Amino acid sequence: AALKDTTVIFVLGGPGAGKGTQCANLVRDFGFVHLSAGDLLREEQQRPGSQYGELIKTYIREGKIVPMEVTIALLENAMLASGQKRFLIDGFPRKMDQALKFEEQVVPSKFTLYFECPEEVMLRRLMKRGETSGRADDNIESIKKRFRVFTETSYPVIEHYKKDGKVHTVSCVDAPDAVYANVKNIFTNLFK
Ligand code: UP5
Ligand code: MG
């Protein structure tokens, strides 16, 4: 009930499209709270005493989608703990049943911001980031698995919301500032 009058925007797009990069801009300019499901899972994996540490580690390395009970609990807790009302939920839902469950159990989304990006561009970005990120899934084997899961399992979520007219699509191919100019337009019209 505490979360019923909150605004949730799903920020979706393939691995390395630039979701986190653009969310940081929106936090600065529009006062949203940014919750990356992947970041929350990586934190939980590191948390001493977590019963999910090993499971999360294996799933992330394999590019597989962690069971939604875990992810939804992390998101809901973070939303409540923030005490805030506007959220960018980055990298979630990645599967249709997760979308339905989150909207039923937590709060319906206002719309989805979808970052469109060709695989070869995302591959280049992730391989580059992998030189320094320390992320266990920034290697060619894991990246290929992440692309496959995105196409087969996560993209249908975007298609679902497209049918409802609830997706704003932004190309993520150009430089970060150029991408953000388009994102900012959408948010300025809706929130300022
Ligand atoms: N970069 C960004 N924008 C650029 C631009 N316009 N031009 C040039 N370079 C650009 O960006 C990626 C890299 O590209 C960075 O180096 C950036 O500087 C550069 P970033 O903003 O980090 O992209 P993002 O889309 O956030 O990429 P990320 O790797 O985080 O996406 P994923 O969706 O793969 O990762 P996530 O952390 O969401 O999930 C990881 C794993 O967690 C999943 O594979 C899965 O195993 C698990 N998971 C779940 O199981 N359930 C969930 O709900 C969520 C995650
Ligand atoms: Mg990210």
- 3-state SS string for 126-157: HHHHHCCCCCCCCCHHHHHHHHHHHHHHHHHH
- pLDDT tens for residues 103-129? 999 999 999 999 999 999 999 999 999
The first and second tokens of residue 20, run together, are 């986190």
**Nearest ligand 1 atom to alpha carbon 138:** 29
Structure confidence by residue, pLDDT tens digits, 72-113:
999 999 999 999 999 999 999 999 999 999 999 999 999 999
Q: What is the pLDDT of residue 1?
A: 62
Proximal ligand: closest to the CA of 116:
1
Burial 90-104 (b: 16+ CB within 10 A, else e): bbbbbbeebbeebee
ipTM of the complex model: 0.99
Residue whose C-alpha is closest to residue 41's, from 30, 23, 54? 54
Say which ligand is closest to the CA of 60: 1
- Among 57, 54, 106, CA closest to 77: 106
pLDDT per position as a tens digit, 33-75: 999 999 999 999 999 999 999 999 999 999 999 999 999 999 9
